[in-house]
């Protein structure tokens, strides 16, 4: 079978524009996922705070127990039934961010709990309040330990972003499908899309590895 990539070359502007949309949505969802995941992870550190711990655990159970695609559809097709109409772009960011936060929260919680308890005890013995000790002593050490697991989650988020094309968002997958609809060269277009995602995940991996190396070189472990 002969491969014909001419539709890909002809549609490179559309694919490039879709790639930028993919990067924008993923980056915004990443920020939302990290902030929300940090709060949920901290909320699950102390089971004695039953209300906060219960809410965070319920959130975790619901989000991790249901498919991302269903959550995106609920935001896009379900919320209008309650009078809430969000743009597809916003639904994509919220859906990816909320989904990612559930996994980030467990990474945060596990990394914080992996820091030796003596670190907190030493900080408190020096007169630091609990919140300040957590921010100045525990979190910097835990952050370095989070990086490998966060890297895997970030890569998964980039790949999961392909689902937002089903919300009519003009990401790289959606633009690729438009090219297929007029050229009927699905294999060539999907290979090009796969290459684009491979580049995005490879660059992300490289950045995270260098970040981890710099932090370890600075002794922040």
Q: Judge whether 9 lies within some domain.
A: no
Q: Judge whether 103 lies within some domain.
A: yes
pLDDT in tens, 3-33: 888 899 999 999 999 999 999 999 999 999 9
Which of 120, 114, 97, 98 shows the shortest CA–CA distance to 149?
114
Q: Judge whether 31 lies within some domain.
A: yes
Q: Judge whether 195 lies within some domain.
A: no
The string of DSSP codes covering the chain is -----HHHHHTHHHHHHHHHHHHHHHHHHHHHHHHHHHHHHHHTS-TTSHHHHHHHHHHHHHHHTS-HHHHHHIIIIIGGGGT----HHHHHHHHHHHHHHHHHHHHHHHHHHHS-HHHHHHHHHTT--HHHHIIIIIHHHHHHHHHHHHHHHHHHHHHHGGGGGGGT--SHHHHHHHHHHHH--HHHHHHHHHHHHHHHHHHHHHHHHHHHHHHHHTT--
Number of domains in the chain: 1
Residue 217 has what pLDDT? 67
Domain that holds residue 45: 23-171
| CATH number of the structural domain spanning residue 45 | 1.10.3720.10
Residue 218 has what pLDDT? 62
Residue 3 has what pLDDT? 83
Q: Judge whether 202 lies within some domain.
A: no
Q: Is the pLDDT of residue 219 over 70?
A: no
Q: Judge whether 50 lies within some domain.
A: yes
Q: Judge whether 94 lies within some domain.
A: yes
Q: Is the pLDDT of residue 220 over 70?
A: no
Q: Judge whether 205 lies within some domain.
A: no
Residue 143 has what pLDDT? 82
């Amino acid at each position: 079978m002969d491969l014909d990539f001419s539709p890909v070359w002809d549609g490179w502007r559309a694919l490039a524009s879709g790639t930028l949309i993919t990067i924008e949505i993923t980056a915004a969802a990443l920020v939302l996922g990290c902030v929300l995941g940090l709060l949920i992870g901290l909320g699950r550190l102390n089971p004695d705070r039953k209300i906060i711990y219960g809410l965070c655990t319920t959130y975790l159970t619901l989000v991790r127990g249901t498919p991302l695609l269903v959550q995106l559809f609920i935001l896009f097709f379900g919320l209008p039934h309650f009078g809430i109409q969000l743009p597809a772009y916003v639904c994509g960011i919220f859906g990816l961010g909320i989904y990612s936060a559930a996994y980030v929260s467990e990474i945060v919680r596990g990394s914080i709990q992996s820091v030796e308890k003596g670190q907190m005890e030493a900080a408190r013995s020096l007169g630091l309040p609990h919140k300040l000790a957590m921010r100045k002593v525990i979190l910097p050490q835990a952050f370095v330990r989070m990086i490998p697991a966060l890297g895997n989650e970030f890569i998964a988020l980039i790949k999961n972003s392909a689902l937002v094309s089903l919300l009519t968002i003009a990401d790289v997958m959606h633009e690729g499908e438009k090219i297929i609809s007029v050229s009927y060269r699905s294999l060539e277009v999907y290979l090009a899309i796969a290459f684009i995602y491979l580049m995005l995940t490879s660059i992300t991996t490289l950045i995270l590895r260098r970040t981890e190396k710099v932090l370890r070189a600075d002794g922040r472990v």
